[in-house]
Structures are given as structure tokens and as C-alpha cells.
Amino acid sequence: MKDMNGLVIPTYDDMLAAHERIRPHVRLTPVRTSDYLNELAGCELFFKCENFQEPGAFKVRGATNAVFGLTEEQAKRGVATHSSGNHASCLSYAAMLRGIPCNVVMPRTAPQAKKDTVRRYGGVITECEPSTTSREATFAEVQARTGGDFVHPYNDPRVIAGQGTCSAEFMQQTGGLDIVVAPIGGGGMISGTCLTLATLAPETRVIAAEPEQADDAYRSFKAGHIIADDAPKTIADGLLVPLKDLTWHFVSNHVSEIFTASEQEIIDAMKLTWKHLRVVMEPSSAVPLAVVLKNRAAFRGKRVGIIITGGNVDLDKLPWMKG
């Protein structure tokens, strides 16, 4: 870690250390290809299947790095976070692997399936109202009571170092890529990707993919400072959160471009992937393919890596189903 004006930035060595730390606990996920999608996109696509992690998302990397990096003393008090998405289940999963407590603050309106998954992994849920004020107050109370180490879903150097391990594997598995495209929400995966590739493959460009209807990262990137949306609405529900100082550091310094896609483009890309890669991915994970298909000229003839970030979907409510 290095300190930059009070901001603790993870380094390439932190990523390497994270990889050693988490290797026994996470999967070396496979890379999928499809001649059909290559032809359609006019470039050579490689899909890194992080949806194949046991809890179904790349977030298990950062969570596991944070959990297994705790001292014995701290581990006894466990970890705590607020999240209604994959970070909650992945942190619970990592804590379960180490056998330590995990407390999660979740809006009471979160889907029952998400709550069930956290509980299946032994996470203890404290419900809050679906507002920032209530979440912060509830979380402060939980943390004070349990002493759990706060593992932020993305604005945490341990988490970013963990997410960076995905690109290290990806480069090795593919033998090199011209471009890596990942979805951007809070920016954890994109930051980890930047962290790793800046050293490992500085010529590889990192492109972020964002829903048009939650395009705060795109607007931040263009404006040169963080802009947070009030209440974005998109089917890509893993990408609703805003950038924070640490992820902004990586995005502003290393991301080449941010492209956006409409809701329909995201749904079409999701269905294309299910059909031709035969892989179950979340709407958030379809945004990269959507932007590649929308900006073919920018990718033509290139070796393009796409990170399939997660595969937790409600199979009873697929976006192309009627009603």
C-alpha cells in the first residue's frame, strides 16, 4: 500500500500478495469464447467467467482477501458491511470459509433471495430502511456493537487488490489482450483491473461499460471529478452505486474510455450471451458486450477481454419474459 495525501492506494505487490492469499479459497475461473460472437462483434472476444465463483461473483476475490488478511485478534470480531448485492453474499461466504462472524446491513426491501443467500453463508442481517441515513445509522450501531472490521464493497484497498487478481489470471489464460472491458458501478473491478494491468500489461487498454441510465461514472470521467447520481434506475442493478475517492483514483488515472449502453442493448447482449456462450450472467455483466457491439469500430480486429462479473439472477423474472 502507498499513501497519497491520505488516500491508501493498493499496489501491484498488494495484488500479488492477495493472489497468494486467496488462491486456496477462490476458483481459477475459465475463459469462454464463441466463434459466433466473434463474427458478430468483428473482434476476438474472451469472456472471463467470474459468475462461476461459488457465490457467483468476482466480489469473492476482494472479500476473501480482506477476510484472510485480518489478524487473529481482529478476525475474532469478524467483518461487517452494508450491501444488498453480491458483496454481501461474497463477504458472508469468505467469513464462513474462515469461520468468523459477518454482519450485513441490508435494506428491508432487498429481495428475499439475496437475504436467503447471505444467511445460507452464515451472514447475520440487520435490516435498515431503504435510505442512506438509515443505512449509515444502522451500520454505525452494528459496527459499534460487534467491533467487526468494515469491508467496504469497493472503496477499500484490500478489496481492490483482490479484484485485481482476476486480470492477472485473465492475461495468463489468454496470452495477452489488447483491451479489457468490465462493467463499472462503484468501480471496484475496474480499479483492480487498472491496478494489475498498469504494471503487468501497460499497453492493454481498460474500458469501462456503464448503463446509460446510471451513467454517473461516464459523466464523472468527462467532467474530471466525481458526480454521484441521486437515484439511478437500471436493470443492471449491480451498477447503481457511485465512484468513491479510491476507485476514482484508478478510473481517472488509467481508464481509457467509458462507453454506455441502453437498457434494451443490455438485455439483448445478455440474451446473446446466454444463447451463444451458454452462460448465465447478470444484466450488469452484459453491459461490456453491449458496448462492444455498439462501438464496433473501437474494437475491430482486437483481442478483447470481457469480465463476466456475476451470475446471480432471478430465473423467474428474466428481462425478456413478458409481464
* Contact range with its own copies by CB under 8 A, out of 50-58, 98-106, 176-184, 247-255: 50-58
Select from 73, 144, 231, 320 the one that contacts its own copies (CB under 8 A): 320
Does residue number 123 form part of the binding site for its own copies (CB under 8 A)?
no
Listing DSSP states for 182-202 in one string gives EE-SSSHHHHHHHHHHHHH-T
Minimum CB distance to its own copies smaller for 197 or for 280: 280
Minimum CB distance to its own copies smaller for 101 or for 311: 311
Does residue number 236 form part of the binding site for its own copies (CB under 8 A)?
no
* Contact range with its own copies by CB under 8 A, out of 162-170, 196-204, 208-216, 274-282: 274-282
Does residue number 108 form part of the binding site for its own copies (CB under 8 A)?
no
Cα 212 versus chain centre, distance: 18
Minimum CB distance to its own copies smaller for 36 or for 172: 36
Does residue number 271 form part of the binding site for its own copies (CB under 8 A)?
yes
Does residue number 316 form part of the binding site for its own copies (CB under 8 A)?
yes
Select from 17, 137, 298, 318 the one that contacts its own copies (CB under 8 A): 318
**Given the DSSP bridges, would you call strands 149-150 and 2-4 parallel, antiparallel or unpaired?**
unpaired
- Rounded to whole angstroms, the Cα distance separating 236 from 58 reads 16
Select from 9, 22, 51, 125 the one that contacts its own copies (CB under 8 A): 51
Minimum CB distance to its own copies smaller for 39 or for 72: 39
* Contact range with its own copies by CB under 8 A, out of 16-24, 32-40, 156-164, 167-175: 32-40
| Long-range Cβ contacts of 214-220 (<8 Å, 24+ apart) | 214/185, 214/239, 214/240, 215/260, 216/242, 216/243, 217/184, 217/185, 217/187, 217/242, 217/243, 217/251, 217/258, 218/258, 218/259, 218/260, 220/248, 220/251
Task: Indicate the SS3 state at residue 215.
Answer: coil
Listing DSSP states for 20-36 in one string gives HHHTTTS----EE--HH
- H or E, element range at 284: helix 283-294
Select from 10, 18, 34, 239 the one that contacts its own copies (CB under 8 A): 34
| Site mask for its own copies (CB under 8 A), range 56-85, x = bound | x-----------------------------
Does residue number 116 form part of the binding site for its own copies (CB under 8 A)?
no
Does residue number 281 form part of the binding site for its own copies (CB under 8 A)?
yes
Residue 15, CB-side half-sphere exposure with 13 Å CA sphere: 24
CA dihedral 304, 154, 312, 227 (to 10 degrees): -80
Phi-psi bin for 258: left (phi > 0), alpha (psi -120 to 50), beta? beta
Does residue number 212 form part of the binding site for its own copies (CB under 8 A)?
no
Placement of cell 474462515 in the chain: 98
Residues of the shown chain interacting with its own copies in the complex, contacts defined by CB under 8 A: 30, 32, 34-36, 49, 51-52, 54, 56, 271, 274-275, 277-281, 311, 315-316, 318, 320-321
